[in-house]
């Protein structure tokens, strides 16, 4: 009995870190069209910007990886952002026995030419612009996308590379702080055919500006086209630390300039990854934690009270989550909003892997995440931030996870581990007493 319990404890402790021994790697990709079929309020900039048509479709795009028997999904939507509550609905719907909900990372590109999905850009200030029918469509299509990607899993190999991309982005708040690094992860099958490519790069999808009234994915539309035309498969964008404002460096808000930004970024991704060596990859490690952040933004609190923002608040705080994912020579951290480059670079400095990825707007959108020492209430970004405590709290939690800290990495409650340890030590009565006190 004791030997069996020891084995069970070892199995559970292995599950808490997400590590498995099976060296087989599989990958699958899919995309689902989430273009609205009727006029919507367009997110970003000001109020009452109503779409008049569609220039190019917007998508939910997903890659699922199975490494060492553990699966993780990266789904990205061409949307301004999704609150944690909406993300949880998608994850629960998309989860399977082999893909737990917490292993589904839902991020948004932060598209400024797509529908309002947060309530901030309706007909006037204080009136939500969210279309409930479209919100339901988005959830359904995102779930469909993840399920299709998981169903398409085949044996695969990964190529990973990084480069810098110049001339497509600038920091409108602090011109001297920018992260121009692009990381590309290409999954290909046994025949060398591309399944999909994850691209991580930081840049606001707002090259078209506020004057555009056509639904579009903005510059990522041309990124997708360029990568898929040259490599095949599905291209998935994981935007990075785009706050501050990391915005397209364009001479005009035109489709021509938007295409230049997207195609240039796409070609850099293709060039760096297409002939890169296969990355050995036997295990996947996945840690996560939650953090409760005080909301100091009085406008956000008022809009929540008025029902314009439907996200759950808890006693003036928002609960959100953070993830750290490692496989091969790749290390990823998720952040629930628009981190300024200074924050993003700090988080990357906590990493040790060769390829360092920060996934912005992941599983939540809390607005700008600004270094506490730079927080200035008179500036625009601060008016779209939950408050000055967000950045230091998030950085501290991620630093702990990246250092191998246990907080939040557990997939099993600490009480369960204590009980099993007591049982292994022969303390059955004590375990029973503990269990009665906590049930």
Distance CA 19, CA 320 (A): 24
Q: What is the pLDDT of residue 20?
A: 38
Q: Model confidence over 163-222: pLDDT tens digits?
A: 999 999 999 999 999 999 999 999 999 999 999 999 999 999 999 999 999 999 999 999
DSSP assignment of 111-168: -SSSB-SSSSSSSSTTS----HHHHHHHHHHHHHHHHHHHHT-EEEEEEEEEEE--SS
Residues 82, 209, single domain; the answer is yes
Distance CA 413, CA 406 (A): 12
The answer on pLDDT for 344 being more than 80 is yes
Q: What is the pLDDT of residue 24?
A: 84
Backbone angles phi, psi at 164, to 5 degrees: -115, 145
| Residue 378 resides in a domain | yes
Distance CA 310, CA 82 (A): 11
Backbone angles phi, psi at 306, to 5 degrees: -80, -5
The answer on pLDDT for 382 being more than 50 is yes
Rounded to 10 degrees, the C-alpha dihedral 402/356/61/203 comes to: 120
Question: Please, what is the Cα angle at 200 between 151 and 166, to 5 degrees?
Answer: 150
Q: Look up the pTM and report it.
A: 0.88
Instruction: Tell the burial category of 207 from Cβ atoms under 10 Å away from its Cβ (0-12, 13-18, 19+).
Output: buried
Distance CA 69, CA 63 (A): 16
Distance CA 68, CA 281 (A): 8
CA 82 to chain centre: 10
| Residue 181 resides in a domain | yes
The answer on pLDDT for 303 being more than 70 is yes
Residues 421, 384, single domain; the answer is no
| Residue 407 resides in a domain | no
Q: Model confidence over 91-124: pLDDT tens digits?
A: 999 999 999 999 999 999 999 999 999 999 999 9
Q: What is the pLDDT of residue 23?
A: 58
Residues 9, 102, single domain; the answer is no
| Residue 408 resides in a domain | no
| Residue 88 resides in a domain | yes
Distance CA 136, CA 142 (A): 10
CA 275 to chain centre: 27
What range does the domain containing 326 cover? 22-402
- Mapped onto helix, strand or coil, the DSSP state of residue 268 is helix
Q: What share of the chain is helix, strand, coil (3-state, %, to 5)?
A: 30, 30, 40
Residues 346, 437, single domain; the answer is no
Encoded tokens for 186: 């290409």
| Residue 232 resides in a domain | yes
Residues 103, 231, single domain; the answer is yes
| Residue 264 resides in a domain | yes
Q: Model confidence over 64-98: pLDDT tens digits?
A: 999 999 999 999 999 999 999 999 999 999 999 99
On the CB side of 214, CA atoms within 13 Å amount to: 12
According to DSSP, the β-strands at 59-67 and 53-54 are unpaired
Q: What is the pLDDT of residue 246?
A: 98
Residues 204, 252, single domain; the answer is yes
| Residue 113 resides in a domain | yes
Residues 238, 332, single domain; the answer is yes
Q: At what angle do helices 2-17 and 414-424 cross, to 10 degrees?
A: 160
Average pLDDT over residues 151-172: 98
Residues 285, 434, single domain; the answer is no
Residues 359, 439, single domain; the answer is no
Closest by Cα among 190, 184, 267 to 223: 267
Q: Which residues are CB-neighbours of 263 under 8 A, at least 6 positions away?
A: 222, 223, 225, 226
Residues 35, 13, single domain; the answer is no
Residues 322, 421, single domain; the answer is no
Residues 2, 56, single domain; the answer is no
Number of domains in the chain: 2
Distance CA 379, CA 172 (A): 12
The answer on pLDDT for 429 being more than 90 is no
Q: Which residues are CB-neighbours of 292 under 8 A, at least 6 positions away?
A: 314, 317, 318, 319
């Amino acid at each position: 009995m004791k030997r069996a319990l020891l084995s069970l404890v070892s199995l559970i402790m292995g599950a808490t870190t997400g590590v498995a021994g099976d060296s087989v790697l599989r990958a699958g990709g899919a995309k689902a069209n989430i273009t609205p079929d009727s006029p919507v309020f367009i997110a970003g900039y000001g109020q009452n910007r109503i779409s008049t048509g569609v220039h190019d479709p917007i998508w939910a795009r997903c890659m699922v990886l199975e490494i060492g028997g553990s699966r993780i999904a990266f789904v990205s939507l061409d949307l301004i952002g999704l609150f944690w509550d909406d993300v949880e609905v998608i994850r629960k719907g998309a989860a399977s026995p082999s893909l737990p909900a917490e292993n589904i990372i839902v991020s948004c590109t932060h598209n400024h030419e797509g529908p309002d999905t947060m309530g901030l850009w309706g007909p006037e200030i204080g009136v939500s612009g969210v279309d409930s029918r479209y919100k339901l469509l988005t959830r359904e299509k995102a779930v469909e996308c993840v399920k299709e990607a998981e169903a398409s899993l085949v044996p695969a190999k990964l190529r990973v590379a990084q480069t810098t991309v110049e001339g497509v982005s600038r920091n409108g708040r602090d011109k001297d702080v920018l992260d121009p690094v692009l990381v590309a992860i290409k999954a290909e099958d046994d025949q060398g055919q591309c399944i999909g490519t994850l691209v991580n790069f930081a840049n606001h999808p707002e090259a078209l500006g506020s004057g555009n009234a056509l639904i579009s994915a903005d510059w990522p539309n041309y990124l997708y086209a360029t990568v898929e035309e040259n490599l095949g498969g599905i291209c998935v964008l994981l935007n990075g630390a785009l706050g501050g404002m990391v915005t397209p460096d364009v001479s005009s808000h035109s489709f021509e300039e938007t295409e230049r930004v997207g195609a240039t970024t796409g070609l850099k991704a293709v060039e760096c990854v297409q002939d890169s060596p296969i990355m050995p990859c036997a295990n996947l490690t996945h840690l996560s934690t939650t953090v409760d952040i005080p909301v100091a933004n009085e406008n956000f609190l008022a809009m929540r009270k008025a029902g314009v923002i439907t996200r759950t608040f808890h006693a003036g705080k928002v609960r959100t989550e953070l993830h750290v994912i490692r496989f091969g020579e790749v290390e990823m951290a998720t952040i629930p909003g628009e981190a300024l480059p200074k924050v993003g670079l700090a988080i990357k400095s906590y990493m040790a892997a060769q390829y360092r990825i920060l996934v912005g707007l992941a599983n939540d959108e809390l607005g700008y995440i600004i270094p506490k020492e730079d927080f200035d209430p008179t500036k625009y970004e601060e008016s779209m931030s939950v408050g000055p405590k967000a950045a230091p709290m998030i950085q501290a939690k991620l630093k702990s996870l990246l250092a191998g800290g246990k907080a939040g990495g557990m997939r099993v409650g600490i009480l369960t581990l204590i009980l099993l340890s007591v049982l292994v030590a022969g303390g059955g009565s004590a375990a029973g007493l503990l269990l009665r006190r906590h049930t």
